[in-house]
Amino acid sequence: MKSFKYLDDTAILTLDTEKCTGCSRCITVCPHSVLAVSNKIAHIVDPNSCMECGACVKNCPENALFTNPDDGCGCAAYIIASWVAKLRGTPSNCAC
């Protein structure tokens, strides 16, 4: 189901095709079908659907994938808290 789209050309997701062995683990875990394997190698076929959840990065045995490494669930309250924490130099923690 692709009824929802967020911002285009925004999410950070890169794939190092030199490292990829085409094992397909990233295809299994991605909840938005962002990746697909063809010619024994993975390809980013729908970058604008990526929500940077990091499932593919975590499950790539070759470390071929990269996404925004900042943690946090992507809620505004958390981002405000982390901005405030950065200003005050204290660590932030998500309440949800």
Partner 1 sequence: MPRSGSNEIAGYTISPMVKSFYSTPTGPVPQVASNLSFGDKLGTFRARIGALRSSYRIAPGIYCIGSPNASSPVLVTGNYKLSFDTLRKELSEIDCWILVIDSRGINVWCAAGKGTFSTEEISYQINKCNLDQIVNHRKIILPQLGATGVAAHELKSLCGFTGVFGPIRADDIPHFLAKGQISSEMRNITFTLLERLSLIPVEICLFWKSLLIIFAITFILSGLSPNFFSLNSAIERTIFGSFFTLIGIVTGAALTPLLLPWTFFRQFWLKGALLGVLTSLATLSILSGKNLAENLAIIFWITSLSSFLAMNFTGSTPFTSLTGVAKEMRRGLPFQIVSATIACILWVMSSFL
Q: What residue ranges bind partner 1 (CB under 8 A)? A: 1-8, 10-12, 25, 28-33, 49-56, 58-59, 61, 68, 70-80, 94, 96
Residue 67 C-beta: closest distance to partner 1, Å: 9
Other beta carbons less than 10 A from residue 90's beta carbon: 9
Query: Hey, what long-range contacts does 19-25 have (CB within 8 A, 24 or more apart)?
Result: 19/62, 19/63, 19/64, 20/62, 20/64, 21/61, 21/62, 23/61, 23/62, 25/56, 25/59, 25/60, 25/61
The nearer residue to partner 1, 10 or 17, going by C-beta atoms, is 10
The nearer residue to partner 1, 11 or 44, going by C-beta atoms, is 11
The nearer residue to partner 1, 4 or 18, going by C-beta atoms, is 4
Residue 39 C-beta: closest distance to partner 1, Å: 19
